[in-house]
Amino acid sequence: MTAHAVLAATTTAPEQGAAGRLIAIASGKGGVGKTWLAITLSHALAQRGRNVLLVDGDLGLANVDVQIGLQVGRDLSGLLKGERAEALATPVPDAGFSVLAGRSGSGALAQLTPEQIEVILAGLAEAKGFGTVILDIGAGLDRTARRLASVADTLLVVTTEEPTALTDAYACLKLAALDRPGGDRRIVVNMAGTQASGERTWLGLRKAAENFLKVSPPLAGVVRRDARVSEAIRRQVPFLTRHPGAEAASDIGRLAAILAP
């Protein structure tokens, strides 16, 4: 059986619908494509009819808005004043989802106390009533990143095929297993040479996790390396708008179909 067949068999089991769900995206290592993936997955889920709120949880270095050239008026700091996430979100034109920005020049999000993080998390939990919340978590494994990851209904741990990304993805899995034993955590291999090489990368990571962490994270999906990704980011246009027929677009479409059958 191929890894995809195994995956299809395991994900048709009582799969939680994507509505009322918080899907967080983390990696440990920087630059593996978390933000691009968060944006493109949000877009693909919206195309599947889901109500999606994309939250920029990279609090120090928020840049979801920059990747897609979105002018944001408000940001997450409004949650600290008791405002609702829906009221703070900015719709992405012609893409069917909204962004709750991680900064809008207010500067209020650079240094948050643990208590303030909890207020933000309460706001995001409430936003799940809106549909699917996608949370882009910044690089690193600091206290804030760990806390954000721990509230996810599904945590997508993103890696590339490089050993440095794999060690950080492993560290991410290890901390997640400590912080929330038994949680739903799945692997995304981004910038893969081919589907097959991406699946081999996942198998290696899963083996290490099984041997040393006693967890067996399934594959959520492989996204192939595609030069059009950086071209779309340079032009600040959502990838699925600019290159709907690209290989990486169909890979994200498959990932969205698994998460929101």
Binding site residues, Mg ion, CB under 5 A: 34-35
Q: Which residues pair with 52 in a beta bridge?
A: 97, 132
Which listed option, Mg ion, ligand ATP, none, makes contact with residue 191 (CB within 5 to 8 Å by class)? ligand ATP
Which listed option, Mg ion, ligand ATP, none, makes contact with residue 33 (CB within 5 to 8 Å by class)? ligand ATP
Rule CB under 6 A: choose which of 33, 102, 131, 238 binds ligand ATP. 33
3-state secondary structure at position 189: strand
Regarding 34 and contact with ligand ATP (CB under 6 A), the answer is yes
* Whole-number Å distance between alpha carbons of 42 and 50: 9
Which spans in 131-260 are helix H?
143-150, 163-179, 195-208, 227-235, 239-242, 247-259
Q: Which string of x and - marks every residue 175-214 that binds ligand ATP (by CB under 6 A)?
A: ---------------xx-----------------------
Contacts of 82 (CB under 8 A, 6+ apart): none
> Cβ of residue 34: shortest distance to ligand ATP, in angstroms?
4
What is the side-by-side order of every strand in the sheet holding 52-57?
90-91, 97-100, 52-57, 132-137, 21-26, 154-159, 184-192, 219-224
Rule CB under 6 A: choose which of 36, 97, 170, 202 binds ligand ATP. 36
Q: Which spans of this chain sit near ligand ATP (rule: CB under 6 A)?
A: 27, 30-36, 58, 138-139, 190-191, 223, 225-226, 229-230, 233, 248
